[in-house]
A and B are shown apart, each in its own frame.
Chain A
Amino acid sequence: MSLTRSAATAAAGGNGTGRREPGPRLLASRKPLPPVLAALIARPELGAVVATLAILIFFSLASDSFLTLAGAGVWLESASTYGIMAVAVALLMIGGEFDLSAGVMTGFTALIVGVLTTQIGVNVWVAAIISLIAALAVGAFNGIVVIRTGLPSFIVTLATFFVLQGVDLAVTKLITGQVVIQGMAQVPFYDSIQPVFGSSLTIGSANFYVSVLWWLAVAGLGIWVLNHTRVGNWIYAVGGAPQAARQVGVPVRATKVGLFMTTATAGWLVGMISLFRTSTVQANTGVGQEFIFMICAVVGGCLLTGGFGSVGGAALGALIYGMTFQGITFAGWDTNWLKTFLGVMLFAAVIINHYVRKRATAA
């Protein structure tokens, strides 16, 4: 053993540099990363945790009603639907893709149910399932086109986004003569489906919506899949290095198509939640929200370049959004500041994420 070692040493140092004594000790790993960086790599959601606490404290001080039961009910409800979407969008982003049709999907699915039930008289449960199937089909279409053409998903789903946006408005107007669906509450069996997506629990003056439970469930499922299943391992791999993933036998195509379908399913769930909470839906519902989902994911620690991120972080990113959105209102400020705030958060998150990635890959 020691003989072969010195042979190797001599080999490597064949030009006289191999004078170093080949001791029996093992070669230790290279110099460790700075602790903060190491922690951020191990737990990408760390930044979001810190930001969540900071914002919670900030608005608690800025407004008396923010940190009350009633206040929490308001900002949790606000965060919940963004949270559901952010989890799915984060998984997709870790898998190396974007879905710009994620926002409009929430309106698309709600409108399908609205039109089928109020205009054609389809059973509301059946309509919900038809709507889910339509969402899955659109998700599969996005995925297959991206895989087949090799085009950036940004472009492919931008096209889908515009197509769906047009369909939402035109078809709704064509069938109902308006750009809003009304009369949902009167359709048969409405009372049997409404609680699943739109019910709330009143404690004192506080209202807690069932969507918060959906948010927690979706986040839990996402965390489980990403970190504790084979599919999760594949999601990291197809986003981080698709060529390498293919070489070691990871089903790259199926994983990516599955992720697009997951995002579409999340869009359907949020569509149902908004439809059955308000019993109405606007034809432009969801338009423009796709970027908020992405911001939540990035603030939660996802890299825009894929292969790295956190589902829990994305769920927290949505909480940050919800708290800020409502916190600004509670504090009595101009709500237009929300956008500015989002931009600043995104900027900070992107810079931190970029730095982490550079340090983690520049060996």
Chain B
Amino acid sequence: MTEPNPTPTSSPAPGTPILEARGVGKAYGGVVALQDVSMAVTAGEVTCVLGDNGAGKSTLIKILSGAHAPSAGELLVDGVETRFDGPRAALDAGIATVYQDLAMVPLMPVWRNFFLGREETVGKGLLSRLDHKTMRRVTKDDLKAMGIDLKDVNQPIGTLSGGERQCVAIARAIHFGGRALILDEPTAALGVKQSEVVLRSIVEAKRRGIGVVLITHNPNHAYPVGDHFLVLNHGTSMGYFAKADLTVEQLATMMAGDPLDVEGM
């Protein structure tokens, strides 16, 4: 735990997942929240984690994002077994998490939120000052690439819609070096149009080669953008499927807690 994240001396073989969980489990005291779950996050692919309330989705992403250590199983970063000391360690390995509350300050301008805690400055010492111009430009350009065209990045972020705010959080995570992006129910509180905006930005992230983990309740959101699907039920995996092996109807059936019958596949 004291040693830093092993940085692979040679780059991993192509196709090696950025992040992989093997048989991870988590117990809170006596409560088993998660048991023997395996999944992988691969560059340029979207892995969807589905499950009903209390299925263990949040528990799984807390493990993936370094917030909790698993009580069983192992995590691999670029194929190398790793233990995260905390969220910072995961971030340093390029694994960025966007939580549902988004970590934003509603009354602050969009660009100030985008760079909060990692502000760009010019000048040295006492003359070190915020580089307003660069930060505004980067914010505007990065959001545009996500399909959000803001006229004014100086407006308070609270004036944006929920979907737009979600996209700012995603763009921010990508800008600050996220190779893998974990999104906790990004569409949960959103209407149809706003969900569309967010799903589009997920597709854009994937196109740029970022590995995405999408947590959701909604098979209709997951299926079109997903490449792999992990379905959780009462803390156990109901299977880890590739898209080709699964229809959206089957996904919905499993979400309801019914295992797939073999003939169905």
Interface string of A33-63 (1 = CB under 8 A from B): 1000010011000000000000000000000
Partner-contacting stretch, out of B74-82, B105-113, B232-240: B105-113
Question: Does B119 make an interface contact (CB < 8 A)?
Answer: yes
A14 to B154, CA, bound (A): 34
Q: Is residue B68 contacting chain A, with contact meaning CB distance below 8 A?
A: no
The main secondary structure of chain B at its interface with chain A is mixed
Q: Which of B116, B128, B162 contacts A237 (CB 8 A)?
A: B116
Contact B158 A236, beta carbon cutoff 8 Å: no
**Interface hit among A118-126, A160-168, A226-234, A312-320:** A226-234
Chain B interface category by residue count: 35 or more
Please name the residue on chain A nearest to B87 by beta carbon: A247
Q: How far is the CB of A305 from chain B (nearest CB, A)?
A: 9
Question: Which residues of A in the span 214-255 have a Cβ within 8 Å of any Cβ on B?
Answer: 224, 227-230, 232-234, 236-237, 240-241, 243-245, 247-250
Number of interface residues of A (CB under 8 A): 52
Q: Are B105 and A237 in contact (CB under 8 A)?
A: yes
Query: Are A26 and B158 in touch, CB under 8 angstroms?
Result: no
CB neighbours (8 Å) of A26 from chain B are 144, 147-149
Q: Are A244 and B159 in contact (CB under 8 A)?
A: no
Q: How far is the CB of A307 from chain B (nearest CB, A)?
A: 5
Interface residue B195 (Cβ < 8 Å from any Cβ of A):
yes
CB atoms of A307 and B108 under 8 A apart? yes
List which A169-186 residues lie within 8 A (CB) of chain B: none
The answer, among B101, B129, B144, B158, for a CB contact under 8 Å with A228, is B129
B72 within 8 A of A: no
Say which residue of A8, A27, A308 sits within 8 Å of B199 (CB atoms). A8
B242 at interface, CB cutoff 8 A = no
Q: Does A18 contact B (CB under 8 A)?
A: yes
Interface set of A (CB-CB < 8 Å, partner B): 1, 4-5, 7-15, 17-18, 26-30, 32-33, 38, 41-42, 224, 227-230, 232-234, 236-237, 240-241, 243-245, 247-250, 303, 307-308, 357, 359-363
